[in-house]
Structure 1
């Protein structure tokens, strides 16, 4: 019986997008920002497609509407998890001179993602994209 539990635990997929919280030193902050921008682009696309499907009552349109809503919510949630599980726990530190500003900007991304989840208006998706873009200066691409 123990082996089945172990096997099940190994086969259950991990949904953690953030890097582990062990101080291994293997980080790619820029890549995480790029991923969040891609998630935000998906939120924007979903919002646009939802607006196109609004008012249609055929089964296919309703099916597509549900799929776009689910995708919008999923990608906004990924942004929230990346900020909270990765950036706020590992990259934004009280020892930084601009800690309060960094904290506000990162929290602003979480708020924008929450609003994008809650609303079907494209302005919230645009605000999410802008909030994430506002973090790019903190996490430039490193050329190796």
Structure 2
């Protein structure tokens, strides 16, 4: 009994010390889909600001490498957060597999998978560049996913 209590306490302390960036993977039934979409939009905006700052600092005659590195790290962090939300929240928990025989539902399902995959790839590209066209593509893809997911149109 004493070992169980000590083990439980240890697990609780470890859990308290851990950061959680995505929704849990237990079937709690508590989902904030629109909140996650808003978070992705906020991360995209942060990446755009980071790209602009990196570009400005890179063009400066007297470079502030410390600030430059900080903006690069910020851009990377927010791109990773988009990937985490897309993967851990939407792909793992919210987008449920549909049988191909359910033609309309399957078309919507595959469209959403494709859009989420695009978000993952574009987030990766955002890590690799400061080209703001990636931001436009991220915003457009997120809008298309949001429209499909919240039933504004199927594809």
RMSD (Å) for aligned C-alpha atoms: 2.2
Distance in 2 separating the partners of 1:64 and 1:128: 25
Does residue 69 in structure 1 map to residue 72 in structure 2?
A: yes
Structure having greater relative contact order (Cα 8 Å, sep ≥ 6): 1
| Counterpart residue number, 1:114 | 124
Scaled by the length of structure 2, the TM-score of the pair is: 0.78
Unmatched 5+ stretches in structure 2: 1-5, 99-104
CA contact (8 A) 1:47 1:125 kept: no
1:8-87 equivalences under 5 Å are 9-14=14-19, 16-56=20-60, 58=62, 61-87=64-90
CA contact (8 A) 1:37 1:132 kept: yes
Unmatched 5+ stretches in structure 1: none
User: Rg bigger for which structure?
Assistant: 2
Does residue 88 in structure 1 map to residue 91 in structure 2?
A: yes
Scaled by the length of structure 1, the TM-score of the pair is: 0.84
CA contact (8 A) 1:36 1:79 kept: yes
Aligned residues: 136
My pick for the range that moved more, 47-56 or 128-137, is: 128-137
Distance in 2 separating the partners of 1:139 and 1:43: 25
> In the superposition, relative to structure 1, how do residues 21 and 13 fare at CA in structure 2: closer, same or farther (>3 Å)?
closer
